[in-house]
Structure formats: C-alpha cells, structure tokens
Chain A
Amino acid sequence: MNVSLSRIGAVMLRDFYSLRHNPPYLVEILFWPTLELVTWGCVSLFLATRNFPAAVAGLLGAVLLWQMTSRPQGDLARCFLEDVWARNLVNLYVSPLSTAEHLAGMVLCGLARVMASTAMLALLAWALYGFGVFTLGPALLPYVVTLLAMAWALGVFAIGLVVRFGGSAQAFAWLLAFAVQPFAAVFYPVSVLPGAVQAMAQAVPASYIFEDMRAVLAGTQPSGGRLAMAVLLDLVYLGAAMAFLYRGLRHARASGRLSRFYQ
C-alpha cells in the first residue's frame, strides 16, 4: 500500500485543530525560546563588555540553532503522546495509517512550528542585540537541516521508548534533547569538555555543527568534513531510531501493549 498524502494531511489537520484549541501551547511555543534568547543575550552583552566581543554572536547563534533540535524533538514526542493521553492511539492503529505516514505528518507539523518560532526569535535577536542569523552565510541551511535530522532521530527514539515500555517512559520524551545538550557543545567548544566527554561529543551530530558555527562566526569557511560527519551520524541515528520504533511496535503488538494504550 502506497504512502498517502491524504493520510499525512489528516495527521497534520489533527495537530492544527489541537493547536487551535490550545492557546496556552501557542504562547508556550514562543515563550520559553524567547526567555532563553533574552537570558543568553544579556549574558553575551555582559561578556562583550569584558572584552569577549565574539561572545554575542556565538551565544545568540547557538540559542537560535539549538531551537532546531530541542523544539522539534519535543514536538514530535508531544504529538504522539497527545494521542496516548486521549486514548486515541488505538483508533489510529486500526486505521490504514502507516507508521511512516504518521511520522511524516508529525514531522511536518513540527517543522512548521519550529520555522515560525525561530523566525520570530531571529527577528528578536536582530532587534534587541543586532545579531543577524544570516551572518552564518550559506552554511545556515545545512546547519538547520542537520540539526532537524538529529531532532527527528531523537523524537522517533523517544516515541519508540513509549511504544516499547509504555506511558511510564514518556518522561524521556521530554528530556532526550536536554540529555544530549551537554555533549552537543552548544555554548562552548568541545575542547573545554573533559577527555572522556569529548569522545562522547564526537558521537553527537550537533557538536560538529556548533563547532563549525563558531568557526564561521570567527571568520573561517564552513568545514565540509564537519558537515559530512554530522550528516553521516544523523543518517545512522535516524536509521537506528526507525528500526527501534518498528521493533518496539512489533513487540507492542506481540505483548498486547499496543491494545492497552487506552488504559
């Protein structure tokens, strides 16, 4: 059976309706990122007065780009969990909707949300701190795509955890991006991390992106090697996360867990 755009659209429509009826969530999409931007913006202004002029661009660039991982990962998990909480998952799994279509719908909704919120933040960063996100030049697009891919890999893995271990695993759905953040070298270079942690950072696609971003802001060219490494790791993690989710679904059908999501 082929992938159906109608079914992907149905998942997006469900999310759109859900957002429309949930104004606090609409506010939340902008509130926390704005708070983070303002906090780091003030820190960077302070550092700039202490003769760290590059800090402003580095920190604000990091805040904006990190949104590309933290928000879509949480959004993907939230979309799925909303149907768990509503006891609606059974209705989806007895329909012709495939897992790939379900994920595609949720990913596209998350993409629309993160683009809207990041555009607002970018405007704010420019208005408040004079930082233009396009300072990053043509490297911006591959940075965004690579960070989104990492977010989706984490999000799919989080959904796999819930499918495999049940609703009690949902705490991981919210925490995964934050658990990875220290190793992603978002606000500091990998070199400041302790030796063993540096090795772990090498396995995180975002660490290559943030290293490259700082290099670009310092005036060098983007590194093809770093980008390639990040893309390669993303592909490995996306594949592994999908395999984990499909395996989790098989297990949930065999163990009866999938039919107990209404309880």
Chain B
Amino acid sequence: MEVLRANKLTKVFGAVRAVDGVSLSVAAGEAVALLGPNGAGKTTTLHMLLGLVTPDSGSITIFGKDFARHRRELLGRVNFAASYVGLPGQLHPIEILNVFARLYGVARPARRVRELIELLELGSFARRPFRTLSSGQQTRVQIAKALLNDPGLLILDEPTANLDPDVADRIRTLLLELAAASGRAMLITSHNMAEVARMCDRIHFIAEGRIVASGGAVELASSYGVADLEEVFLKVART
C-alpha cells in the first residue's frame, strides 16, 4: 500500500530553484532515503511533505488523500524528528511527551508516554530539563516524540547526526524493528551512508533540486561502477 506520493514538487526561493520536479513514493513498511550534498533540496522537500513549505507546483498524496486539502488530518498520522529542531529546554522529557501526546490526540497519553520512556530507555533522565541532556539523550527524546502517535509515516531528517556510534546503532536497530513490526513507512535523510545502506530499501540521490539517481544501495553502487554508497555520494556531489 502506498503511503506517500509526491509528484513533480517544485519550489523556487528568489533566484534559487531549491526543488525542481521531485517525484517519489514510499510504501507501507518501506524505508526510503533522500540523499544529497548540503543545499541539494532534501530538507525543503521534507518540509513540503510536512506542510511547512508550500510547493510552487506539484502535488502530495498521503494515505491516498490530497495533503493540501487534508493537511491537519494527515499530520495526525505522520510524525517527524530532526537533529536541528529543538524542544522546550526547561521542560522534562516526560512533560514534553505529555504535551505532544495530547497535541496528537493519543488515546491514553500517560500509558503511551510510559511505553516510550521504557522503549527508548529515557527513564534515567525523564525528569531532568531537556536542555541539560546530552545530544544523544535529546535525540532519543525527539525520536520518542516522533513515535507518540504511532505514525504510519515517519519522516526523519538526519536522525542520528548527533549520536555516538553505539547510540546511533541502537536507534537504527529500534527504528528497523518498529518498521518491521508495524508496517510503518519511513522517509529518511542522512549523511551516514552505512546507515542508509542498512536501513533503507530504496534511495534517491538529489542534486541541485533534482533526483539524479534512484535504486537500492547495491544497485546504485553497481550502476555507478563503485564499491559502496559513499562513493556514489561522492560521484553525485562532484558531478
């Protein structure tokens, strides 16, 4: 079942064509990566899919509904985490999760918050101000927030950017387990090619606002005649 379809999305900021005719889809249970150098248009694409940026042209369909017409309803079934987005620094993780559980209309918020605190091992710092947490702990809170409404589509913008290899690996494993168990669709951006190769079924490379290559990690490496995804990235970025 197709969860997300973006068709010919275009966004121009002044003289800059940030996104130029991007089309992509994500099916239930599938993890899709959007890769590319800084400024390639990844984040703008994600922000259009989240309703933060209005596309100049193109269309977005989520769960079969037109996103432009059903934005708030669909946002209740989607969630998002990014390394660059903050949360209220004075609040404790348990409070942050309480607030967002209610924002997303979670049926039994206290129970869901307890589940996620356990799942993401937030217990030891659940009652400390968010701003005093390490970046790894903050990312785990962000991921917990993104899972609160058990979203059918999870959008992650560089989710493990601030994590040490151990925590990053555990987050990846958790996300993969959750995707496998729930049939959740995921759309991910990352600069960690090994992470993408491990997590994602399909990969889109984006450069100067356009998708320039698509396929599985092995397939892409083969078609570019290189050993791995890292080298594909370098070829795309330097072309």
Contact = CB atoms under 8 A, between A and B. Distances in A.
Interface of A: 1, 4, 6-7, 9-11, 13-14, 17-18, 21-22, 82-83, 86-88, 90-98, 250, 253-256, 258-259, 262-263
Given A17-B99, A95-B76, 15 more contacts: A7-B105, A14-B91, A17-B91, A18-B88, A18-B91, A21-B129, A86-B87, A86-B88, A90-B82, A91-B80, A93-B52, A94-B51, A95-B104, A96-B103, A256-B47
A257 to B, nearest CB: 9
A262 B99 contact: no
Q: Which 3 A-B pairs have the closest CB atoms?
A: A87-B86, A10-B102, A259-B52
Contacts, number: 107
A88 B51 CA distance: 15
B50 interface: yes
Contacts of A83: 88
Contact of B73 (A1, A10, A94, A253): A1
Highest count of chain A CB atoms <10 Å: which of B54, B84, B102, B129: B102
A1 B129 CA distance: 34
B122 to A, nearest CB: 16
13 contacts: A10-B102, A13-B98, A17-B99, A21-B129, A88-B85, A88-B87, A91-B100, A94-B79, A95-B76, A98-B72, A253-B54, A262-B84, A262-B85
Given A6-B102, A7-B102, A94 B91 contact: no
Nearest to A21: B90
A253 B100 contact: no
B72 A1 contact: yes
Contacts of B47: 256, 259
A88 B131 CA distance: 12
Interface residues of B, number: 39
Interface in B91-113: 91-92, 95, 98-105
A262 to B, nearest CB: 5
A253 B73 CA distance: 18
B160 interface: no
A174 B92 CA distance: 27
Contacts of A21: 90-91, 129
Given A18-B91, A86-B88, A256-B44, A95 B53 contact: no
Contacts of A259: 43-44, 47, 52-53
B103 A10 contact: yes
B172 to A, nearest CB: 22
Contacts of B145: 91
B86 A93 contact: no
B75 interface: yes
Contacts of A91: 80, 85, 87, 100, 145
Contacts of B79: 94
Interface in B6-64: 11, 13, 18, 43-44, 47, 50-54
Contacts of B72: 1, 96, 98
B53 A258 contact: yes
